[in-house]
Amino acid sequence: MDWSTPVWEAPGWKTLDRGTLRGATAMVACLAITVLAAHGTTLRIIVGALGVLAELGMLLGRRVTPSVLGALGATLTIGTGLAISLLVPAGLGSVPVLAGVSVLPLRLPAGPVRTTGVAVVSAAFGISIMVVTGSLAGLLAGVGAWLLADRSVEHTALQTERDRAVALLAEVEASRQALQEAAAVEERSRIAREMHDVLAHSLAGLSVQLQAVRAVANREGAPASLTGPIDRAADLARDGVQEARAAVGALRAGPRRGVDDLKGLVGGFPGEARLRVSGHPGELGAEAGHALYRGVQEALTNAARYATGSAIDVDVAWAQRELQVDVRDHGVPAGRGGSGVKGGGTGLRSMAERIEAVGGTLSAGPAPDGAGWRTSMRVPVAGAGGDVGSPAPTGSPASGRPTGPS
């Protein structure tokens, strides 16, 4: 099994988000106005065809990887926009040009190639506007296109740093919580050792002494008024020893988080995350609840790494015989990439082992009903007899993206 195949980096279509839909709608509206402004049926058909090519170019530029296709798409949009501007001076052909200019620098490698490309496009746009308006002032449009390209690059760089910060914050929060719990466990272990070495030992010694006193009292024929209190004291000492040992065991077990703590976990996530709970809550063992909590925490961190900027849904569904928890992102938003923060490649394996240890199952893979990634965990509830219910969704931990250490 290959646990480190970066399947999320395969070329393909990016997620269609609201920004892309708004941009596409605005461009369609502008091109429709331009078609109406054209004179003659033939010219309108030509402008309409160019508009369709402009839309197609923007889809390629904003939503398709690798960058070569994106650059060709943006160039197509710019070229058709310039043609529309020359054919219909009263139209809005400048809109697809500016839209393409905002995308093209992001699909070109930084350095001379990007600078040359932006310069050529800006000059062509300025000259086209000068021809259309018949004024040298039209050359200022080229300056505006250059400034728009620079702004687009700066915005993308800022967004990339923000995405990286979100992923790192998720990692830091998980590490901080782990350190806090480790410190708590260490302190509880210290207290448990003190109780075992001092309190439990003293109570055990007291119980032995009382038993010896009782034996002497029986041998000397002591009355019941004396032996009765001794017997009660011995019983209390024995009970104290048992209670002290139970307390030591509880302290050494350490704190356990559960399903009830998911609200705080999701609420404290640095990105956009939503928690939904359905069904009637049943009884869940402490170990199973802790395993689910850790699984959700790892899945959130994984989504922050590889689908930064996407909304994350955490669905908790109670059933009669099992509890199912799904963590699902919606893929990398259009025009954006992963955070660049890589995991150690063992987190998913650890998640699966932890869930399987409590009688549950874990599966991870592309969401079956759309873009994104889904991690699904199922564990039996009390009274289910270890039967997890229906099989887990198609997919296995082996097909998942690598995640960091748990």
Classify each residue of 302-326 as buried b or exposed e, where b means 16 or more C-beta atoms within 10 Å of its C-beta.
bbbbbbbbbbbbbbbebbebbbbbb
The structural domains of the chain, with segments of one domain joined by +, span 7-134, 182-253, 259-399
How far apart are the C-alpha atoms of 162 and 339, rounded to whole Å? 9
* Domain at 259-399, CATH homologous superfamily: Histidine kinase-like ATPase, C-terminal domain (3.30.565.10)
What residues pair up with 363 in beta bridges, in sequence order?
Answer: 376
Burial degree of 215 (CB within 10 A; 0-12, 13-18, 19+): exposed
Angle at 286 between CA 284 and CA 291, to 5 degrees: 95
pLDDT digits (tens, 9 = 90+) for 219-268: 777 787 777 777 777 777 777 767 766 766 665 555 678 888 899 888 88
Q: pTM score > 0.95 for this model?
A: no
User: What's the Cα-to-Cα distance from 384 to each of 314, 315, 316, 343, rounded to whole Å?
Assistant: 23, 21, 18, 35
The DSSP result for 330-367, as a single string, is: --PBTT---------S-HHHHHHHHHHHTT-EEEEEE-
How far apart are the C-alpha atoms of 166 and 329, rounded to whole Å? 15
Residues 333, 15 contacting (CB under 8 angstroms): yes
Angle at 42 between CA 40 and CA 44, to 5 degrees: 70
How far apart are the C-alpha atoms of 203 and 196, rounded to whole Å? 10
User: What's the Cα-to-Cα distance from 259 to each of 288, 315, 359, rounded to whole Å?
Assistant: 9, 11, 16
pLDDT of residue 258: 85
Walking along the chain (406 residues) 10 residues at a time, the average pLDDT comes out as 33 52 80 86 90 84 66 86 87 84 80 83 83 79 82 75 75 70 66 65 72 77 76 74 68 71 86 90 87 89 82 92 91 67 66 89 85 90 52 40 45
Q: Which of 232, 295, 229 is nearest to 258 (CA)?
A: 295
- 259: which DSSP letter? G
pLDDT digits (tens, 9 = 90+) for 316-342: 999 988 999 999 988 877 666 666 566
pLDDT of residue 71: 83
pLDDT of residue 375: 92
Task: State the alpha helices, DSSP H only, in 195-255.
Answer: 201-219, 224-253
pLDDT of residue 327: 94
